A and B are shown apart, each in its own frame.
Chain A
Amino acid sequence: MSTKSKRKSKVKMSRQDKIFQKVIYLLSALMLVIVIYPLYFVVIASFSDPAAVAGGQVWLLPKGLTLDGYKELFKHSEIWTGYLNTILYTLVGTAIGLFVNITAAYALSRRDLVGRGFLNLLFVFTMFFNGGLIPTFLTVQDFHLDNTFWVMVLPFSVSVYNMIVARTFFQNSIPMDIYDAARIDGCGNLRYFAQIVLPLSKAILAVIGLWTAVGLWNSYFNALIYLKDSSLYPLQLILRNILITNNMQMSLGSGEAMQVALRLSNLMRYSVIIVSTVPIMCIYPFVQKYFNQGVMIGAVKG
């Protein structure tokens, strides 16, 4: 049946459709180039002689191959402290985020939870209303969490969006019958959650874990607001200084020596972008299917 209809549609493919198909493929190819080229340029620029990059001689292949940019990185110890901090924040923060959101999501997914409607509202309301920057800042100070490791991983680990996605998953994929059966066998809620629900929910754990990890790896706002001590700075805050703040000061200077220094620092910027972004980019293709799954689960209105 399906082959028959396929053949039929092939026969019926009109001239207009053929042109349409070609246009779509052409546009998509153009878009691929627009997305890839800037990224590719950063890669080759990071290996090229900075004078050649500034002179517009680097287009498709690196020119005057050099590792100076990467060598320069090793002189900046704050980058590596930041790197280590970010790894710690990401690992601990992801663990906390998973624990907090998944447990709550499961409880909220159970229809026999008394007060479910109210509790749901309590969480969802915060998506649309909040106290704002200063009241939150003062609260964190009240708890003496500012300028500590914990402010980066604990206070803001509840993500209502992630919770709704996980809740929707539990509602749709863990049949209540299993719980009824387990309960008759004397299994309580906690044991049921740990031994039966969690092993069945690896997909959603992966999705929420990855979303949380990417968010933590990339964020700088909380660090900017709450951290004073530069030894606690995550990579992104260090990157901000290197990539953006310094750039503005540098471009104000002029003269020959300044030009050379500017070029070297530009080269280092290309390198630091590569070094900070590669970990996420490398993991991404392997976990892509989980990301997509998550968005699709979330698309089912919760």
Chain B
Amino acid sequence: MVVINIILYSLFAILVGLIFMGIGRKVSARMHLRYGPPFYQSILDIFKLMSRKSFTHNFVMDLGMVMALAGLLGTMLYVPIAGHSAFISNSNIIVIMYLMAIGSLGMAMAVTASGNPNATIGISRALTMMLGYEIPFFIIVLGLIISNNSSSISVIAASQAGSIWNWNIWHMPLGYIAMEITLQAMMGEKPFDAMIAPAEVASGPMVELSGKYLGLGLLTHAVSIFVETGLMVNFFFGGGSNPIDFVIKQLGIYLIAVIFDNIFPRYKIEQAVKFLWIFPTGIAVVQLLLLAF
């Protein structure tokens, strides 16, 4: 039963993430005054990539790609989807903060094994960015833990149930603003997309990935979108009364990120880390102080 649960939850997260990516492409196309691809374009892409021949450089590359996807799927299993969760845990925030890094680390292992300098530059930028966004993220999470006296996401989501005015976005608006900026960096969207900048480092970590490896990379990205928007919904938007409600809220949050992605230029990596360490961290600390006293 647990195995079937895990498989179903993983497939659900992958499917939702891929359709989100397709809708995001459609929305950004409309913002460019284009028609845009169909909303299921990412599923077509995945199928095509999985049916292609692919180059591997060594065993570490195979292992790293699978590790990245598995790490993020493992994270996803702890995120409560409107009260449903594959693994019931009392302190799943700690587990999620621990496991979320595995996606980037697996990717780092895989792409540095390919030996391409662009890939190495790209992934070093991605890891530096992780250093930047994890500090504000952890401070926000600390504020949530203090105000709810619990490190369980289910408890945090349940405490906002009932009315729209119970949502944490009204109780801690500063925390929401900090989280919105942090989320942009976590998803690698535009002001903070120095790692995949196609014009500078030829799409960074993906430079040497072909066929099935690129497919695994896209799946990893889809699951990371699901995890990050899911955390946001649980932290600030009441968690949803049923899975459909939950997914609609996730889509709204993802589209905000896509719109910001389309209207901002790109920070250099040192500017991005500086910005993340000053503004979202500062706002999150103010929010923490307001909550603590």
Tell me whether A and B are bound partners.
Answer: no
Task: Name B's A-contacting residues (CB within 8 A).
Answer: none
